[in-house]
Amino acid sequence: MADKPLPLSRRHDQRHALIRRAFVLPSRDLGQRVVSGASFTLLGIAARTLLTIGSMAILARLLTPADFGYIAMAAVVTEFASLLASFGLGNILIQKRVVSRLQLDTVFWAGTATGCAIAALVFLVSFATELLFAEPTVGGLLRALSITFVLAGLTTVHEAVLARLMQFHTEFYIRIGALGVRALTSIVFAWLGFGVWSLVAGPIAGALAQLVLMFIAVPFLPRLRFYAAYLFANLRTGGSYMGNTFLYYLMMNVDLLLIGRQLGASMLGYYQNARSLTDEIRGRIAMPLQRVLFPAFSAMQADRDRLRQSVLKSSRILAAIICPIGFGLSAVAEELVPMLYGDQWLPMIPVLTMLGIGAALRGSTSIASSLFNAQNRVALSLRYNVVGAIILIGSVLAVVSHGLEAVTAAIALNAMYSIVVLRASFGLIGLDFRDLLHVLARPVLAAIAMWICIAVLRTALAPMQFSTFVALLLHVSTGVVTYSLALHLLSRQYLTDFTDLVTRIRGRQHRRAD
């Protein structure tokens, strides 16, 4: 006999059970939740990196450096707009210990209205951008991309609910699915001969796919009500988030603006593709880990000792993973660029060499953002970011007339300031400079040893004339062995950290199987 369908009221209750669980930030089994989040984050890192680098390698052969330069010019506007879309309201929801359904409804409508307003602004600014870069193509790209901000504004609450519940496995499937749609769409359009417009079709398709998947995963449908007092009560925090967002935009795009304006689309194309590879470190590794750690740190605010130990361990693991990747990209740039992109991209080799080291430092210190947010010290973070933005803009302006490599060198050197910001965030929970050295010194020294070893090996192997692929394989293998040995010789704590993490991940998988 077939099962009877559930009564409508029970189906309604089951559908909204997930939303009700998100009202209170969970603190039970927090360690296990972080381990679960870390496991899916690491899996997502590998999958997203393969998808992104693989699709970029294909697109680089179907498109020209100028095509990537045009989309980088448009990114000066779109990246700022995408960061502003939620006015930090999603982060406010994550940070609060308890939220209500009314607050979720309020944030949804505020996020939607903001997304629509940003889309309209991008559409209008597109005409001025054409004049700024003296490239009519850029304006058309921006007008098409403006729709993505409406789509992003609709998912502010859905993303916050997943973060509050630490359901990182769901987020993993959503983001991988959306990225796959984006990559496939761009490749198909490029193969069909749409040129630079293939780099617009992909983001639109990916944003639409993410919207659909978010609404399927999080059954939140807003009610027609709005609590303005909640927004005003959090206006200061939201303003600080926006201030940090604005400064983040400046630090991430002033280089694109000046290079595009002064050096042209082709030079910007070389720079943008090199930066895209190094941005994988921050965007695909550091920032996803921040999404795991922010709600975890928020839930541990009352337990200082536990918080300090968690921060130190998380920072060690983050630095131990990111340092060798950044320094490794720098060390193998001579082989990686021609193999992935072809000979037309050779001018990006010195750019990737310098940006890789800077990305290693920025990524290894990125946990500072989660600490500032979790301690509700966003305003203090804003002040540090103001100083960083002034230093970066001043240095880029000073050297932009000397060419692409000079700008790249200035940006790489500015990464040193992120260490100052990390030290400030450590101070919020009673950690000092010795703790900072404990976290960073050994991975950086081991990564430097790896970089030097690869450079020496390249010189030694030069007379043998290996193929690019074989040389890259030898350098990567040597780098992995050198870094692992050097880090272990400097401290066995890292091996203990990774062993413990792997053990806990495997234990979780066994429990799920049982």
Residue type for 234, please? N
User: What is the reported pLDDT for 465?
Assistant: 80
CA neighbours closer than 13 Å in the CB half-sphere of residue 44? 27
Percent of the residues in the chain that have a pLDDT greater than 70, as a whole number? 74
User: What is the reported pLDDT for 382?
Assistant: 76
Cα(345)–Cα(164) distance, integer angstroms: 43
196 vs 245 pLDDT, higher one: 196
Mean pLDDT of 413-437: 88
Point out the least confidently predicted range of 18-32, 181-195, 459-473, 488-502: 18-32
Mean pLDDT of 2-23: 55
359 within 8 A of 282, measured Cβ to Cβ? yes
**pLDDT above 90 (res 478):** yes
**pLDDT above 80 (res 477):** yes
Point out the least confidently predicted range of 11-25, 311-325, 342-356, 377-391: 11-25
Cα(83)–Cα(81) distance, integer angstroms: 5
Q: Phi then psi for 98, rounded to 5 degrees?
A: -130, 135
| Among 400, 511, 489, 474, residue whose Cα is nearest residue 443 | 489
User: What is the reported pLDDT for 1?
Assistant: 39
User: What is the reported pLDDT for 481?
Assistant: 94
Q: Which residue has the tokens 């030069």?
A: 462
> pLDDT tens digits, residue range 205-222?
999 999 999 888 888 888
Mean pLDDT of 122-130: 89
Cα(22)–Cα(238) distance, integer angstroms: 21
Q: Which residue has the tokens 């350098």?
A: 475
Burial class of residue 171 in the structure, from the number of CB atoms within 10 Å of its CB (0-12 exposed, 13-18 middle, 19+ buried): buried
Burial code (b: 16+ CB inside 10 Å, e: under 16) for 31-54 equals eebbbbbbbbbbebbebbbebbbe
User: What is the reported pLDDT for 74?
Assistant: 86
User: What is the reported pLDDT for 170?
Assistant: 81
**pLDDT above 50 (res 11):** no
Mean pLDDT of 50-74: 85
Cα(269)–Cα(465) distance, integer angstroms: 30
Query: Which residues touch 70 (CB under 8 Å, ≥6 apart)?
Result: 135, 137, 138, 141, 196, 265
Mean pLDDT of 50-67: 85
Q: What is the pTM of this model?
A: 0.65
Mean pLDDT of 430-458: 91
pLDDT band, residue 260 (cuts 50/70/90): confident
Mean pLDDT of 310-339: 87
Cα(172)–Cα(41) distance, integer angstroms: 7
**pLDDT above 80 (res 489):** yes
User: What is the reported pLDDT for 42?
Assistant: 62
User: What is the reported pLDDT for 295?
Assistant: 47
Query: Which residues touch 59 (CB under 8 Å, ≥6 apart)?
Result: 186, 187, 190, 198, 199
User: What is the reported pLDDT for 265?
Assistant: 76
Point out the least confidently predicted range of 48-52, 172-176, 234-238, 359-363: 234-238
324 vs 91 pLDDT, higher one: 324
User: What is the reported pLDDT for 6?
Assistant: 44
Dihedral angle over CA of 449, 454, 459, 461, nearest 10: 140
Q: What is the mean pLDDT of the chain?
A: 79
pLDDT band, residue 365 (cuts 50/70/90): confident
User: What is the reported pLDDT for 189?
Assistant: 95
Q: Which residue has the tokens 């430092």?
A: 361
User: What is the reported pLDDT for 294?
Assistant: 44
Point out the least confidently predicted range of 74-83, 314-323, 422-431: 74-83
220: region left, alpha or beta (phi > 0 left; psi from -120 to 50 alpha)? beta
Mean pLDDT of 412-433: 88
Cα(139)–Cα(64) distance, integer angstroms: 19
Point out the least confidently predicted range of 13-22, 267-276, 504-513: 504-513
User: What is the reported pLDDT for 445?
Assistant: 95
- Give the sign of the dihedral formed by CA 53, CA 54, CA 59, CA 60: positive
171: region left, alpha or beta (phi > 0 left; psi from -120 to 50 alpha)? alpha
Q: Phi then psi for 416, rounded to 5 degrees?
A: -60, -30
**pLDDT above 50 (res 147):** yes
Mean pLDDT of 419-425: 90
Percent of the residues in the chain that have a pLDDT greater than 90, as a whole number? 20
195 vs 312 pLDDT, higher one: 195
User: What is the reported pLDDT for 2?
Assistant: 43
| Among 457, 475, 463, residue whose Cα is nearest residue 335 | 475
The DSSP output letter for 284 is I
Mean pLDDT of 260-266: 77
In this structure, what token pair is assigned to residue 154? 């609709």
Point out the least confidently predicted range of 81-95, 266-280, 291-305: 291-305
Mean pLDDT of 281-293: 57
User: What is the reported pLDDT for 298?
Assistant: 47
User: What is the reported pLDDT for 182?
Assistant: 94
> pLDDT tens digits, residue range 223-257?
887 766 666 666 555 555 555 566 666 666 677 77
| Among 356, 133, 342, 385, residue whose Cα is nearest residue 247 | 385
| Most confident segment among 264-273, 328-337, 341-350, 371-380 | 328-337
444 vs 321 pLDDT, higher one: 444
The stretches of 346-400 forming alpha helices (DSSP H) are 349-364, 367-374, 378-399
Distance of CA 495 to the CA centre of its chain: 26
